[in-house]
Each structure stands twice: as structure tokens, then as C-alpha cells.
Amino acid sequence: IKGLESPVAGVADILIPPDIESANMLAKSTTYWAKFRLAHVIMGAKAPILIPSRADSADAKLLSIALGIIVVSSGGGVATK
């Protein structure tokens, strides 16, 4: 659409919005219009922070928990011993 020439243009595996309002809009629109399954965590703290929405399905909550576990196990969060 914008004439970008790149092997990855248009095939993103992850979308990182700049703020929580944009993230909320992106999540709601992709699940409603595109029927995406998604998970969301906030990173940058000692551990990933799960932020389920009241409207999230059980599937979305489970995927968010799984994503948080993956982030910690890959070194992206601090796991306490």
C-alpha cells in the first residue's frame, strides 16, 4: 500500500502499540473484525503483568497466562527463586 520494499513488510508476527489506549483499540478491533486470537502482557517490570479485560474470553486469558510464562522462561522477566 505504501510502497515499502522489504521481505517482512506486511507479514508481522507481533504488533507493539505505543500506549495502552492504542493497544486496547488494536486488540478489540482485531478480535472483532479479523477474529484473531490474542494474548497481551505488559513488559518492563520485574515480571510480565497480565491485563485481562472484562470482555476477554477464557481463551484470551489462558493465552495471556501462557505468554507471560514464555516471557519469563525466555529471560524477558525476572523469575524469583
> pLDDT tens, 28-76?
898 889 888 888 888 888 888 888 888 888 998 999 999 999 988 887 6
Phi, psi at 66, each rounded to 5°: -60, -40
Burial of 48 (0-12, 13-18, 19+ CB in 10 A): buried
- List, in sequence order, the alpha helices (H) in 19-75: 20-33, 58-73
pTM for this model (two decimals) = 0.65
- The answer to whether the CB of 48 falls within 8 A of the CB of 20 is no
Which residues is 42 bridged to in the sheet? 49
Q: Residue 20 CA to chain centroid, in angstroms?
A: 11
